[in-house]
């Protein structure tokens, strides 16, 4: 059985080998890359990305990256394309063919059909002199000297190179489009990343109950309010304005210091000028405030009036933390 050191050594060699190949890609960039990006940017159609085998898997990932960053893209399997799926390609679409060798049978059948339809074609290939390389309008050179596989057979470094070329395309297009964090949120509304960009404090606090007491409320009333509203806190308000806060911790400290609490009221144990946040602030801003001040709740305001509570657990539930 291989030793732990042997396994780690193999892993490090794999990473080093792929890192070296990726770095070399920058030396292979030509004007074709810039022209291909410009072509896609100016196109009125979509980007159709095709490949076979492992290249097809990479094509799917590039499609996902382009779609999520503002460039409409569709995956078309090279084998399916020559059996009916060519109908996916519309007049203004740009086609990207991915193939390490550029000479696979499916590519040799597919490429002439694309050329006949007069769609512009971009090749991502490790062999610029291949059939695909010779037929493409633009070549994005993804050459690698050797796979990370010790037998130089399993697609490893070559597929990594293809993926990096795809990422480079996507980021260049993103910058040309001026694609912002707000745009990103539109395409990722359900994920944690998107929520950090669009979810507001009011979206969370509105789902909670709204604990509040007044200055003269008794300690019993304070305890009942905190218990019933289940947020571990209550605001102390006067004419809808926040003037203080009482937490579970305040109650425990009160009990440890006082034997007779019957005469105490909310104003005797509250903390004045509590941390607060506007309901239209971003939820991620609430997270940063809680982390900065070491607290788990924030009182929420709307137009200067008390509007509710946002709790650390709300942020955890939504994946903000």
Domains within the chain, CATH numbers bracketed: 4-179 (3.40.50.10490), 198-317 (3.10.580.10)
Residue 53 to residues 50, 58, 100, 184, 218, Cα–Cα distance (Å): 10, 9, 10, 30, 72
Residue 299 to residues 19, 157, 232, 234, 275, Cα–Cα distance (Å): 49, 52, 12, 9, 7
Q: What is the mean pLDDT of each run of 10 residues along the chain (321 residues)?
A: 85 94 96 97 96 95 92 92 85 96 93 92 96 96 93 92 97 90 63 68 93 94 93 94 92 82 88 93 91 93 95 87 70
Report the pLDDT value the prediction gives residue 164, as an integer from 0 to 100: 97
Annotation-wise, does 77 bind a ligand? yes
Report the pLDDT value the prediction gives residue 153, as an integer from 0 to 100: 86
Of 159, 45, 163, 49, nearest to 100 by C-alpha is: 159
Report the pLDDT value the prediction gives residue 68, as an integer from 0 to 100: 85
pTM recorded for the entire structure = 0.66
């Amino acid at each position: 059985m291989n030793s732990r050191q042997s396994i780690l050594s193999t892993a490090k060699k794999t990473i080093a080998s792929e890192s070296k190949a990726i770095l070399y890609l920058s030396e292979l960039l030509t004007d074709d890359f810039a022209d291909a990006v410009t072509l896609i940017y100016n196109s009125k159609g979509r980007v159709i990305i095709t490949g076979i085998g492992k290249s097809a898997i990479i094509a799917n990932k590039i499609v996902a990256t382009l779609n999520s960053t503002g460039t409409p893209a569709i995956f078309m399997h090279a084998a399916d394309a020559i059996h009916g799926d060519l109908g996916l390609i519309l007049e203004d679409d740009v086609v990207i063919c991915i193939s390490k060798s550029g000479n696979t049978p499916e590519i040799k059948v597919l490429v002439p059909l694309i050329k006949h339809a007069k769609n512009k074609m971009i090749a991502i290939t490790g062999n610029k002199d291949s059939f695909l390389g010779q037929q493409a309008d633009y070549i994005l050179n993804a050459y690698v000297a050797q796979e990370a596989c010790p037998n130089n057979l399993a697609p490893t470094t070559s597929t990594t190179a293809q993926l990096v070329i795809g990422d480079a395309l996507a980021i260049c297009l993103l910058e040309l489009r001026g694609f912002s964090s707000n745009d990103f949120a539109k395409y990722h509304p359900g994920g944690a990343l998107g929520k950090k960009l669009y979810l507001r404090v009011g979206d969370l606090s509105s789902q909670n109950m709204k604990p509040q007491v007044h200055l003269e409320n008794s300690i019993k009333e304070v305890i009942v309010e905190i218990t019933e509203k289940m947020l571990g806190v209550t605001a102390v308000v006067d004419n809808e304005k926040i003037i203080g806060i009482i937490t579970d911790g305040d109650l425990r400290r009160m009990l440890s210091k006082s034997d007779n609490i019957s005469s105490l009221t909310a104003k005797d144990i509250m903390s004045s000028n509590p941390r607060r946040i506007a309901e239209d602030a971003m939820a991620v801003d609430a997270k940063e405030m809680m982390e900065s001040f070491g607290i788990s709740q924030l009182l929420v305001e709307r137009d200067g009036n008390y509007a509710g509570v946002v709790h650390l657990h709300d942020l955890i539930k939504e994946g903000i933390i």
